[in-house]
Amino acid sequence: MQDYPTHTISARGLFWKGFLDTLPYVLMVVPFGVLFGVIATEAGLPIAQVLGFSVTIIAGAAQFTAVSLMQDNAPTIVVILTALAVNLRMAMYSATLAPFLGGAPFWQKAFMAYGLFDLNFIMADTKFRQKTEWTSVQKAFYFSGTSLVIIVTWVLATYLGALGGQALPDWLELDFALPLSFVAMVAPTIRSLPHVAAAISSVVFALAFAPIPFGLGLLLAACIAMLIGAEVERRLVK
């Protein structure tokens, strides 16, 4: 999409620019949203709860993880803590974007925090470093536009998946789709040595801690993997 000089486009115009810039990436969001809807329905959740899950949490990987643990009858506190651990990367995303968006009003910061995802973080971080002439308010409107597209797409895709999940016959099981979906989400993000170190160590420790009940081994493995990845990155920047 064509970029316009800052003086010719309003903050509202940048909102719609962010909206339109994100539309081509909807195709990446829809399959995972539909898959979550199907899996959550197969796990026994009614459509209303599936939609509530997506609207309140709206975080793909965390939602898949939570449903998997719920199927294993894990305690509620374990489900919550594990889902939070999966989403810890959002804290790093927020810290990266904060210098660009610090001047936005509180209500808009709250909306952007709600609508922060891997996809629009990468888009916004790249765009903001290029568009140094944009004010923090203009950047906030652009980011809000990217968020709205993904939020609406995810919720609608989840709803369609839930409808499809109810229509599937009982003999058609899609349990295999859950681990495959994780692989599909994670694989494209492994681009550096720290990422590789974290990925490999997470697999090793997850297998080692597999006997620990309620998925706690997975949570412990994730924490160790993050520490290893951070240490590798620290040593590389020395």
Count, residues in the chain? 238
> What's the distance, CA 234 to chain centroid?
25
CA-CA distance, 210 to 217, in Å (whole number)? 6
Report in angstroms the alpha-carbon separations of 128 from 24, 40, 179: 19, 36, 34
Q: 0.85 cut: is pTM over it?
A: no
CA-CA distance, 54 to 36, in Å (whole number)? 9
CA-CA distance, 210 to 139, in Å (whole number)? 44
Q: What is the pLDDT of residue 220?
A: 86
Q: pLDDT tens, 19-63?
A: 999 999 888 888 888 888 988 888 888 999 999 999 988 888 888
Per-residue pLDDT averaged across 97-118, rounded? 90
Per-residue pLDDT averaged across 68-73, rounded? 82
